[in-house]
Structure 1
Amino acid sequence: MKAIFITFDQAHFEMVMGILEHNNCRGFSYWENIQGRGSVKGEPHYGSHAWPSMNSAIITMVEDRQVDTLLDLLHKLDNQTPALGLRAFVWNIEKSI
């Protein structure tokens, strides 16, 4: 089992949710207002007058076989509008209850 942590501009919310829904990723936790800045070229997302946009984040636990498909779809979404920003990180899950 893997955890996928996805951070994204709030404008991506519906598309990210659609990707998860379409791939039967039923369980997740969602944070609506996340501040941050991309590590490469991303503009700040601070919710301020100067930088008004905000990020969101989702973490979902998936079967190993789902990871590559989800990452591919998320990467395609990011490539459609790279200025908005979207990143996904994968961790191993050792145990769960």
Structure 2
Amino acid sequence: MKAVFIAFDQAHLEMIQSILDHHNCRGFSYWENIQGRGSVKGEPHYGSHAWPSMNSAILTMVEDQQVDGLLKLLNNLDKQKEALGLRAFVWNIEQSI
């Protein structure tokens, strides 16, 4: 089992939910109005007058075999609108109840 953390511009929400549905990722936790700044070339998302956009994040647990396909679709979405920003990170899940 893997945990996939997805941080993204709020404009991506519906597409990311569609990608999760496509991969049968039913369960997830969602946070909106998250502030941040990309580590490479992303613009800040602070919700301020100067930087008005905001991020959101989703954390989902998936089976190991789902990860590559999920990341591929997320990467394709990011490439379509690179200026918005989207990052995904994967962790091993040791146990769950």
TM bracket (short chain): over 0.9
Identity fraction in percent: 81
The separation in 1 between residues aligned to 2:14 and 2:27, in whole angstroms, is 16
Answering whether residue 20 of structure 2 is matched by residue 20 of structure 1, we say yes
State the TM-score, normalizing by the size of structure 2. Answer: 0.99
RMSD of equivalent CA atoms: 0.3
Structure 1 portions without partners, runs of 5+: none
The count of residues paired between Structure 1 and Structure 2 equals: 97
SS at match of 1:21: helix
- After TM superposition, give the deviation of residue 27 of structure 1 in Å: 0.4
Give the corresponding residue for 1:93.
93
Answering whether residue 49 of structure 2 is matched by residue 68 of structure 1, we say no
State the TM-score, normalizing by the size of structure 1. Answer: 0.99
The residue type paired with residue 49 of structure 1 is: H
The residue type paired with residue 35 of structure 1 is: Q
Structure 2 portions without partners, runs of 5+: none
